[in-house]
């Protein structure tokens, strides 16, 4: 078996059938589906069982509610495929997604991570899947050797568009940080990237439902440094990651502190903004750090809010 597809499920009855159908309709069919029910209280698990009656590749695993990280870790432990692909219960795949991931593996057999780009789809109560736009049948596959640097240019992938070699995951236990609800997935991607390049297919083959009901991303508001960033910084400063990766990691962490400085400015707290800029001084001299310093010293909060709103709208277009 080539792919094991891990889907954590918690109260996503409105979405899980569409998600699963996007998998069973894949052109590449050598896979198993492991749905980990994380203590759902709705009819989502029932929908999974109904579909499993007609497709033996679908398997439902139940556990008491322990969070999305624990559910994904359980799915990895249950997996039998050579590669583990992750899919959230409210996202869905283009029918060629697994074929393209398999193509990337064949083109770059030495990598342990493959990924694709994504489409952002607004959620709605009367939502139904829209046809996919025309896709390049032979998209380019590029290697990402410096993930922190690439991430600062724009998000290249997300959880539902990643597959990882199972032996690599088993060597990195625990994979997802249990108890964390923001950045537990990024923590794994950046740790993986310290040891392997990522083969990235230049095509948007996964749909990400923005602000889905119950979505952790829709509930999260950034107010402090995520734990994964502090762990990344410790690894870089303690030589626990390859020396060639350390500078980029420290720049990435510093840029997140610059982001927090701007959040403080939007909230009207200039002193806190200056503190974040000082802590992020590894990025001093960069355009973004200098612009933030100028904002902290001269611009009113309302103007900073308008600037950030414009910037977020521009960069969120996918």
> Each residue of 195-242: pLDDT tens digit?
999 999 999 999 998 865 444 444 344 568 999 999 999 999 999 999
The yes-or-no verdict on residue 316 having pLDDT over 80 is: no
What is the structure's pLDDT at 287?
Answer: 92
As a whole number of angstroms, the distance between CA 246 and CA 225 comes to 19
Q: Which residue has the higher pLDDT, 262 or 89?
A: 89
The yes-or-no verdict on residue 156 having pLDDT over 50 is: yes
> Each residue of 76-104: pLDDT tens digit?
999 999 999 999 999 999 999 999 999 99
Phi-psi region of 274 (alpha: psi -120 to 50; beta: other; left: phi over 0): alpha
> Each residue of 159-184: pLDDT tens digit?
999 999 999 999 998 999 998 878 89
CA nearest to 253, candidates 219, 275, 226: 226
Mean pLDDT estimate for the chain: 90
What is the structure's pLDDT at 304?
Answer: 65
What is the structure's pLDDT at 232?
Answer: 97
What is the structure's pLDDT at 213?
Answer: 46
Domains identified in the chain and CATH numbers? 3-219 (3.90.550.10), 227-316 (no CATH)
Q: Which residue has the higher pLDDT, 297 or 54?
A: 54
C-alpha distances in Å from residue 223, one per residue of 1, 190, 193, 220: 43, 21, 26, 9
> Each residue of 18-75: pLDDT tens digit?
999 999 999 999 999 999 999 999 999 999 999 999 999 999 999 999 999 999 999 9
> Each residue of 91-148: pLDDT tens digit?
999 999 999 999 999 999 999 999 999 998 887 666 667 788 888 889 999 999 999 9
The yes-or-no verdict on residue 317 having pLDDT over 90 is: no
Contacts for 212 with CB less than 8 Å, ≥ 6 apart? 12, 15, 90, 123, 218
As a whole number of angstroms, the distance between CA 36 and CA 65 comes to 10
What is the structure's pLDDT at 221?
Answer: 47
CA nearest to 72, candidates 37, 96, 106: 37
Looking from the CA of 150 toward its CB, the CA atoms found within 13 Å total: 18
Weakest mean pLDDT among 9-13, 211-215, 306-310: 211-215
0.75 surpassed by pTM: yes
């Amino acid at each position: 078996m080539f792919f094991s597809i891990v889907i954590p499920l918690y109260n996503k009855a409105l979405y899980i059938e569409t998600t699963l159908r996007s998998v069973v309709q894949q052109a590449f069919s050598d896979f198993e589906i492991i749905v980990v029910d994380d203590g759902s209280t709705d009819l989502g698990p029932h929908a999974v069982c109904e579909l499993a009656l007609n497709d033996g590749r679908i398997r439902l695993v139940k556990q008491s509610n322990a969070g999305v990280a624990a559910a994904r870790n359980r799915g990895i432990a249950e997996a039998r495929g050579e590669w583990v692909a992750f899919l959230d219960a409210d996202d869905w795949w283009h029918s060629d997604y697994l074929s393209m991931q398999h193509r990337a593996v064949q083109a770059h057999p030495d990598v342990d991570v493959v990924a694709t780009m994504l489409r952002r789809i607004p959620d709605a109560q009367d939502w139904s899947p829209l046809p996919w736009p025309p896709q390049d049948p032979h998209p380019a596959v590029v290697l990402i050797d410096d993930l922190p640097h690439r991430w600062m240019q724009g998000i290249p992938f997300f959880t539902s568009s990643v597959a990882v070699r199972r032996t690599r995951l088993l060597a990195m236990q625990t994979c997802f940080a249990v108890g964390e609800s923001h950045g537990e997935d990024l923590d794994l991607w950046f740790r993986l990237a310290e040891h392997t390049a990522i083969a990235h297919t230049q095509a948007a083959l996964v749909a990400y439902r923005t602000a889905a009901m119950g979505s952790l991303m829709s509930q999260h508001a950034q107010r402090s440094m995520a734990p994964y960033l502090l762990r990344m910084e410790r690894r870089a400063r303690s030589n626990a990651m390859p020396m060639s990766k350390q500078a980029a990691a420290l720049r990435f962490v510093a840029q997140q502190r610059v982001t927090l400085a701007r959040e403080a400015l939007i909230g009207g707290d200039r002193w806190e903004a200056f503190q974040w800029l000082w802590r992020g001084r590894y990025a001093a001299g960069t355009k973004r750090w200098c612009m933030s310093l100028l904002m902290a010293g001269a611009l009113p909060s309302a103007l900073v809010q308008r600037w950030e709103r414009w910037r977020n709208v521009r960069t969120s277009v996918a």
